[in-house]
Amino acid sequence: MNRFDYVRAGTVAEAVQAFGAGARFIAGGTNLIDLMKYDVEKPGRLIDITRLPLDKIEAHGNGLRIGALATNAKVAYDDRVAERYPLLRNAILAGASAQLRNAASTGGNLLQRTRCYYFYDTATACNKREPGSGCPAIGGMNRIHAIFGTSENCIATHPSDMCIALAALEATVQVSGPQGDRSIPFSEFHRLPGDTPETDTNLAPGEIIVAVDLPESRFPQHYTYLKLRDRLSYAFALVSVAAALELDGDTVKTARLALGGVAHKPWRNREAEALLEGKPATRESFQAAADLIVSEAQPQSENGFKIDLARRAIVRGLEQAAAGTPQSLSDKRIQ
Amino acid sequence: MRLENQPPVSADTPIGITLTINGQRRELQVAPWTTLLDLLRERLDLTGTKKGCDHGQCGACTVLVNGTRVNSCLTLAVMKDGAEITTVEGLAGLGDRAGSNALHPIQEAFIEHDAFQCGYCTPGQLCSSVGLMNEGHAHTRDEIREAMSGNICRCGAYTNIVDAIEDVMQGGAR
Ligand SMILES: Cc1cc2nc3c(=O)[nH]c(=O)nc-3n(C[C@H](O)[C@H](O)[C@H](O)COP(=O)(O)OP(=O)(O)OC[C@H]3O[C@@H](n4cnc5c(N)ncnc54)[C@H](O)[C@@H]3O)c2cc1C
Ligand code: SF4
Ligand code: FES
Ligand code: FES
């Protein structure tokens, strides 16, 4: 690990003010310290934000405001989240381990970096780590990489589970920075790699996430978070599906579908969601939506299996949501 | 020392922190890049806590911070200023027999159920088990398995570890 200055901020303004070139905020540290040990991150200054008063979960309009420092565990086990946003709870609990969730923060989860092997290995090229150096994952080891929204510069995925649920729930990210405060709709928070894969999000340098807002609860019954991975726990998603439905009898009134493990950001396809609306909640409808989504998929040399996996996971996820039988967090059999 | 509102501490200056480790209050000077794990093992000779992967992937370094289990390899000691830390060396002092020098019930249960082989993962498994019971979210066997998935056991003592935890949760091994 490199040497760095350490500042402990007492207020958001202080934290923003302490920011400068080469500085990083640190919350749970579970991603940043890991990357620092690999010399992927070499901050000249760490700004410890753990003492900021941002760890509350409180009512906000008809929704809920989750402070950026509320731990993943605190959010998952909050009674209001369990009752009104069980999709979020399940997505969080499908990720990492109990120890990591106890440390990891809401803001840090949004800003965690890709798990691409080359990104982590400073002996190799990587456009995300070193812009312009190339992308060895293309044509290399890319079994875990993206099938949607890739560019010729980067095919990495965003590894978060929580963010997939937040995308489906259409959360809003509240930030504060040198330019003042602003709100970012979740769909605009993360970005596709394009020509600048070094930039994961639309957060400006020095901006700090202060909260994530959830809108009014609409999917307390018909939801699921289905995560498929190489082992049944403590592993990142190969493909995951957050599905949420509002039903009118057997007819789909509203459909939200976000995929994880397949793109540089939580992947949504509004056309497929629209296609479901007004249709009967049947396997046939779900298959049509899944077919539409995967018709845009582009496989790499080793990850073609993700296309069929995604198609099947979407259908199964929608079936689980429609039936009101979300994927169990402890019984790993997929019903 | 409270650092709020103070100028940044430059890279060469050790930082004064206070930690209560296994019930003992300690004033320490640490470099900011010292992980809690390295502080415990290298500086304080509390080598019960193990370094397996040093990257959050194995759970061998699990300790309790204010009663909550975390990976000590992925946290900086300076960030925990003011916290109470419990390592495997301090488990015996927790609970109803504090001060008696007797083992913690979970330690007895691990012995009873043969819940280890080489023992390298065991300190982390023990602290994690106590953390799990403090949290109170796991009730069934499947839930215990899932909630313990952050602790890898290369020897594969999993079944017996879950037996030991179940036993203590049901009030056994006392
Ligand atoms: C072994 C392992 C397995 C994992 N498995 C999973 C998994 O299955 N699913 C999953 O979703 N995640 C998984 N994770 C990732 C974990 O969820 C993240 O590391 C965690 O959420 C990051 O949060 P943090 O508070 O620790 O972030 P930090 O490490 O403190 O920070 C991460 C980044 O965010 C920035 N930052 C933090 N807070 C703010 C803020 N408020 N404003 C602005 N910037 C901020 C930091 O500067 C840094 O760049 C795993 C991690 C490990 C180590
Ligand atoms: S996929 Fe992205 S992160 Fe991975 S090597 Fe290529 S540029 Fe780097
Ligand atoms: S040493 Fe910390 S998790 Fe492996
Ligand atoms: S007892 Fe050997 S690793 Fe668990």
Average pLDDT over residues A238-246: 98
Q: What is the pLDDT, as a whole number, of residue B174?
A: 44
pLDDT at residue A201 greater than cutoff 90? yes
Task: Give A272→chain B minimum CA distance, Å.
Answer: 34
Task: Say which amino acid occupies B96.
Answer: D
Q: What is the pLDDT, as a whole number, of residue B172?
A: 64
Q: How far is CA A180 from CA A172, A177, A207, in A?
A: 17, 5, 9
Please provide the DSSP assignment of B111-146 as one string: HHTT--SS-SSHHHHHHHHHHHHHH----SHHHHHH
Least-confidence region, from A18-32, A281-295, B98-112: B98-112
Contact map slice: B 130-159 vs A, CB within 8 A: 131-132, 135, 137, 140, 142-143, 145-152
For chain A, the average pLDDT equals: 97
Nearest CA in chain A to B71: A99
| Residue spans in chain B of domains classed CATH 1.10.150.120 | 91-169
Chain-chain contact of A331 with B142 (C-beta, under 8 angstroms): yes
Chain A residues in contact with B150 (beta carbon < 8 A): 96-100, 234
- The CATH number linked to A43 is 3.30.43.10
For chain B, the average pLDDT equals: 92
Chain-chain contact of B59 with A33 (C-beta, under 8 angstroms): no
Structural domain contains residue A191: no
Pocket test for ligand 4, best of B154, B159, B161, B162 (most atoms within 8 A of CB): B154
pLDDT at residue A87 greater than cutoff 70? yes
Confidence of residue B12 (pLDDT cuts 50, 70, 90): low
Average pLDDT over residues B102-127: 97
Residue B119 backbone class (left: φ over 0; alpha: ψ -120 to 50; beta: rest): left
Average pLDDT over residues A138-156: 98
- Determine the structural domain holding residue A271 and report its residue range: 223-323
Average pLDDT over residues A214-222: 97
How far apart are the C-alpha atoms of B83 and A211, rounded to whole Å? 25
Structural domain contains residue A152: no
Structural domain contains residue A46: yes
Task: Say which amino acid occupies A41.
Answer: E
Structural domain contains residue A158: no
**Number of domains observed in the structure of chain A:** 2
Structural domain contains residue A230: yes
> Which contacts of A229-238 are long-range, i.e. CB under 8 A and separated by 24 or more positions?
A232/A332, A233/A97, A233/A332, A233/B146, A233/B149, A234/A96, A234/A97, A234/B149, A234/B150, A234/B152, A236/A115, A236/A144, A236/A159, A236/A261, A237/A94, A237/A159, A237/A161, A237/A261, A238/A144, A238/A306, A238/A309
Beta bridge partners of A226: A241
Which are the contacts of A134, defined by CB distance < 8 A and separation ≥ 6? A125, A126, A127
pLDDT at residue B96 greater than cutoff 80? no
In the sheet that holds A180-185, the strands lie side by side as A57-60, A63-67, A208-214, A172-177, A180-185
| Residue spans in chain B of domains classed CATH 3.10.20.30 | 15-90
**Fold for domain B15-90?**
Ubiquitin-like (UB roll) (3.10.20)
Structural domain contains residue A110: no
Task: Say which amino acid occupies A167.
Answer: A
Q: What is the pLDDT, as a whole number, of residue B5?
A: 46
Q: What is the pLDDT, as a whole number, of residue B94?
A: 78
Confidence of residue B93 (pLDDT cuts 50, 70, 90): confident
pLDDT at residue B9 greater than cutoff 70? no
Number of neighbours of residue A126 by Cβ within 10 angstroms: 25
Chain B residues in contact with A9 (beta carbon < 8 A): 4
**Fold for domain B91-169?**
DNA polymerase; domain 1 (1.10.150)
pLDDT at residue B1 greater than cutoff 70? no
Nearest atom (ligand 2) to Cα of A145: 1
Ligand 1, CB cutoff 6 Å, lining residues: A 24-32, 34, 49, 68, 95-96, 100, 103-105, 107-109, 111-112, 159-162, 208-209, 236; B 56-57
Number of neighbours of residue A61 by Cβ within 10 angstroms: 10
Two structure tokens written together for A74: 């605190």
Please say whether the beta carbons of A64 and A56 come within 8 A: no
Contact map slice: B 6-25 vs A, CB within 8 A: 6, 8-12, 15
Structural domain contains residue A292: yes
pLDDT at residue A253 greater than cutoff 90? yes
Structural domain contains residue A282: yes
